[in-house]
Amino acid sequence: MISSSWSKVPQKRKGCKLFVFDLIAPWLLVAAMLYMLRRLERWLHQHIFKVGWLVTKQLQTTTILFYAFFLPGIVLHEFTYWLVAGLLNVRADRALEWPKKQEVAELKLNFVRLTPKTGAIRLAIITISPFIVGVLLIWLIANTIINIQEAAASLQSGFLTDVSQMVSRLTATPDFWLWIYLIFTIGNTLSPSNPEHLRGWQRLLPVAGVILLVLIFLGAADEVLVNALASLNATVNSLSGTLGVIIVVDLFMVAILGTVEAIIERITGHSATYKDGKLITMRRSELMAQRAAEMKKGRAPQKAARAAPAGPPSVYRFALPIPGAPGKEAISRADDRIIAPQEKPLPSPLAPTPGRDAPAVISGAAAPKPDETPPDKDDPH
């Protein structure tokens, strides 16, 4: 009995580890995808703005074209923001303005403004609502219109013929490129306009803890938690699949945008780069020279590290200065050392000052010593 009971312990531990891994792995995958999507979104915004400037050479026109390119995603984002604010009885004012000239490649999604008296929880729900609606809409487009899952099912063998069949099947969808454009614009406007507004979700954690304690007290915690975790894992898996679709579309647009940007730079000879998020225009030759200088500067520490002697440090490897012959020592001129001028000592109050306290010196006669008294003229001796 004892041996059989102990043999079941490793199986229970193994099952517990697999359960924890199955529970945490989808969330880690979603977190990695969100980070990658954020990096791709920033790169795409910057280079779309850069291509607009290369074509127009005017920041105002570039800004207008930049917002016009992402217009479907902007409309969905702001309309969802306004609609959810109305459902939660929060005052939302429309602030529709023509986009002002900007040097930063970012979408300022502030066309709907809330009242300052909005509560933290309501503000968090309103802020996250465009992300949820955008992901749901992309999931519907990908699975009901383009049918990505059915097309991906043909990749079981992995041959190139299957890949070509999948691509031809996807592109055969009516208005395929229009749906890809919608996925791209909606997927790159999902980020909240102000991430600090999401802090209100922290206040819901104590409420969830109280509900969990009540379920444990009633004895229904196990069944409710198992069902909740199962549905939550299914939702997270669907979310990761939708984010994967957005990432694939973004990578496709990165390849197209990089090619178009390189062609325009070669034809016009103009280029631009970003410093502290702002667009800095320059010639293409200047940009290439700047990149070459940065690469050369980056290789210098590597060469210095290779030239360093191996082994532990030793005092015998220090380059100590060796003095020259007497009278022929070289004068060291160290630029990083500044010798301060020496200040003259102040005169002591007891020292005689020339012209005041010092006795006058008579020419032709020796000055008397301090301890000797001069002879009296009336003294016969």
Phi, psi (degrees; rounded to nearest 5) at 282: -165, 175
* Helix, coil or strand: residue 318: coil
Q: Which residue do the tokens 């390119």 mark?
A: 69
Q: Do 129 and 77 meet the contact criterion of CB atoms below 8 Å apart?
A: no
Q: Which two tokens stand for residue 374?
A: 């001069």
The better pLDDT of the pair 288, 35 is held by: 35
Work out the average pLDDT over 262-290.
Answer: 81
**In this predicted model, which residue has the larger pLDDT, 204 or 364?**
204
CA angle 317, 318, 322 (to 5 degrees): 120
Question: What's the confidence (pLDDT) of residue 157?
Answer: 57
For residue 79, the model assigns a pLDDT of: 94
Chain centre distance of CA 196: 16
- The tokens for 65 are 């074209």
Q: What is the pLDDT of residues 322-372, one digit of tens each?
A: 555 555 444 444 433 334 445 555 555 555 555 454 444 444 444 445 444
DSSP 8-state class, residue 99: P
Phi, psi of 102 (to 5 degrees): -140, 155
**Gap between the Cα atoms of 52 and 261, Å rounded:** 10
Residue 6: pLDDT above 60?
no
Of 279 and 152, the one with more pLDDT: 279
pTM above 0.85, yes or no: no
pLDDT at 330: 46
**CA–CA dist 260, 54 (Å, integer):** 11
Express as a percent the part of the chain with pLDDT over 90: 27
Structure tokens at 277: 């998020």
Rounded CA-CA distance 10/307 in Å is 54
Return the domain boundaries, the chain. Answer: 12-268
Q: For 361-375, what is each residue's pLDDT tens digit? A: 444 444 445 444 555
Give pLDDT tens digits for 28-70. Answer: 899 999 999 999 999 999 999 999 999 998 999 999 999 999 9
Q: What does R_g of the chain's alpha carbons equal in angstroms?
A: 40
* pLDDT of res. 139: 93
The per-residue pLDDT of the chain, averaged, comes to 75
**β-bridge partners, 113:** 93
Q: What is the tens place of the pLDDT at every residue in 220-270? A: 656 666 677 777 778 888 899 999 999 999 999 999 999 999 999 888 888
| Cα 167 from chain centre | 35
Tell me the mean pLDDT in the region 185-209: 79
Q: Which of 192, 182, 171 has the alpha carbon at shortest distance from 126?
A: 192
Judge contact between 247 and 43, C-beta under 8 A: no
The average pLDDT across 191-210 equals 75
* Calpha distance 49→54 (Å, rounded): 9
Does the structure show a pLDDT above 80 at 179?
yes
Alpha helices in 141-203 (DSSP H): 148-152, 160-171, 176-187
Q: Which residues of 234-267 are buried (b: 16+ CB within 10 A; e: fewer)?
A: eebeebbbbbbbbeebbeebeeebeeebeebbee
Measured from the Cβ of residue 72, the count of other Cβ atoms closer than 10 Å reads 15
